[in-house]
Amino acid sequence: MDKANTNTNNHANYLQRNLWSGILFGLGLVAFLDETLFHQLLHWHHFYDKSTTNIGLISDGLFHAFSWFATIAGLFLFADLRRRKEWIVTKWWGGVLLGGGTFQLYDGTIQHKLMRIHQIRYVDNVIVYDVIWNIIAILMVVMGIIMIRKRGDKHA
Amino acid sequence: MHKHIQHEIVNVIAQIILLFPFLIGLIIYFLAIVISHRKQRPWTVYRTLCWITGSTFAIIAVVGPLAVRAHIDFSAHMLIHLFLGMLAPLLMVLAAPITLILRALSVQHAKLLTNWLRSRFIRIISDPVIASILNIGGLWLLYTTNLFTTMHENVILYVVIHLHIFLAGYVFTLSFIYIEPTPHRRSYLYRSVMIVLALAGHGILAKYLYANPPAGVSYRQGEIGSMLMYYGGDLVDMMIIVILCWQWYKETCPRMNIKIAGKKVPID
């Protein structure tokens, strides 16, 4: 295999790593903001809602653990890309938006509504909050996909 | 009244028995440092400090006012659980006692120890899956059955469970971050998946206890204890995850620069 070929392979590998690093970090970031902003500072979310189903409890536990790991692992992957000079700005931020948006959408639809882990806020017309929450999530996913699909990957 | 006095005696006996192994641990560690120094192989201050603080957290958990309070106060019990089962084990793993002992021992004895480390028993017990089951599974058993109540009335059970909490925490930490010589290595991916599952098992139990506290624990105490377990667990686990990722980061380090004719040239 000649040198040029090896380099292309390397870049393809790092393209994937850029995406994964972004997705993991984005997912972790949204979960972290959820925890600090809505649980700890605003007290909009409850630590545990008595109407939570068993499957909801398990899903919440798995997602919390995974996002906790993802934040840290995503940042270490990011640091690795930086030192290799393989960090691709658009792909990485696209990954962040895609990961964060997907988690928020899953949280807003399945975890809040289906599994009833907790609600965004304990008010009468919570539907307004739900709609805003999920629209933001969808926008993040769409923007993320557009950024990832964008041609001409510039290295930082 | 009679029951109260009986409780006190149980307390004192349990404290003395549980203090013993940690004191011995401190003595052996210091002896090993002295012998190691005599062999012209100095030991780092950082690791020594880790062992001292780790042992201190373990001792605070088993003797003294906090340990006594844990009998009646669930949040105090949870703090003990964090100290004895998570923080002390992490610090003591970072202190690398096995490496130190290997240095202090004669070649012949060190060989015996490394042989034992290579044994099937150690391979099985230090597998992240088994270590997690022993650790997290033990907690589920303790808090969701009447074991928790029985433990506070039976001195043997109390001692055994507390030793288990520490040892399970120690082996658990050891199975994820490789500070010591580790003959049975597992891939980063395997360990990453397992730490997520273990942390999930811990978090789910913590939230479950919020609504279903063990017998004899009031709802309010259950709520505080549960949140302490949840966020405290996150904190210690975060340290394990950071060390795990850091070890990966160091290991995958590319050869960034090589010198060609005195000039630095970056390579892939």
pLDDT at position A120 is: 73
What distance in Å separates the CA atoms of residue B209 and residue B226, rounded to the nearest whole number? Answer: 6
Record: contact A62-B196, CB cut-off 8 A: yes
Instruction: Closest CB to B195: pick one of A50, A69, A84.
Output: A69
Which of A64, A65, A76 is nearest residue B249 as measured by Cβ atoms?
A76
For the cut 50, the answer to whether the pLDDT of residue A91 exceeds it is yes
Name the residue with higher pLDDT: A121 or B81.
B81
- Residue predicted with more confidence, A8 or B171: B171
Residue B205, pLDDT > 90, answer yes
pLDDT digits 0-9 by tens, B65-80? 888 888 888 999 999 9
Using CA atoms, how far apart are residues B125 and B131, in angstroms rounded to an integer?
A: 6
Question: Which residues does B212 contact at the CB level (< 8 Å), separation at least 6?
Answer: B144, B222
The partner residue sitting opposite A65, judged by closest CB among B196, B248, B253, is B196
Any domain includes B267: no
For residue B203, which residues of chain A lie inside 8 Å, CB to CB? 60-61, 64-65
**Burial class (CB within 10 angstroms; exposed 0-12, middle 13-18, buried 19+) of B168:** buried
Domain ranges of chain A: 21-149
H-run or E-run covering B258: strand B257-260
CB contact under 8 A, B197 and A65: yes
Q: How many domains does chain B have?
A: 1
Chain B, nearest residue to A57 by Cα = B204
In a domain, B175, yes or no: yes
Q: Do A76 and B248 touch (CB under 8 A)?
A: yes
State residue A84's pLDDT score: 87
Q: What is the pTM of this model?
A: 0.87
B141 touches chain A (CB under 8 A): no
Task: Tell me whether residues B207 and A10 touch, CB distance under 8 A.
Answer: no
For chain A, what percent of residues have pLDDT higher than 70?
A: 88
- A-B C-beta contacts closer than 8 Å: 70
Tell the burial category of B1 from Cβ atoms under 10 Å away from its Cβ (0-12, 13-18, 19+): exposed
B10 pLDDT exceeds 70? no
Q: B62-76, B129-143, B157-171, B245-259: which range is least confident on average?
A: B245-259
Q: Please, which residues have CB within 8 angstroms of residue A42's CB and are 6 or more apart in sequence?
A: none
A-facing residues of B in 218-247 (CB < 8 A) are: 226-227, 230, 234, 237-238, 241-242, 245-246
Of A29, A11, A2, give the one whose Cα is nearest residue A102.
A29
Under an 8 A CB cutoff, do A69 and B201 touch? no
Task: Note the pLDDT tens digit of each residue in B23-62.
Answer: 999 999 999 999 999 998 889 999 999 999 999 999 999 9
The predicted model gives B175-183 an average pLDDT of 92
Residue B257 belongs to a domain: no
The answer to whether position B33 is within a domain reads: yes
What's residue B128's pLDDT? 95
Q: What is the pLDDT of residue B140?
A: 94
Q: Between A47 and B163, whose confidence is greater? A: B163
Whole-number pLDDT of residue B268: 44
User: Is the predicted pLDDT of residue A155 greater than 50, yes or no?
Assistant: yes
Identify which of A108, A110, A114, A149 has the alpha carbon closest to the alpha carbon of residue A129.
Answer: A108
Is B265 inside any structural domain? no
Asked if residue B260 belongs to a domain, the reply is no
Bridge partner list, B257:
B266
Q: What is the pLDDT of residue B1?
A: 43
- Judge whether A76 and B238 are in contact, CB under 8 Å: no
The residues, ordered by sequence, that sit 6+ positions from A146 with a Cβ below 8 Å of its Cβ are A94
- pLDDT at position A108 is 82
Residue of B204, B246, B253 with shortest CB distance to A61? B204
- The residue ranking higher by pLDDT, A55 or B111, is B111
Structural domain includes residue B264: no
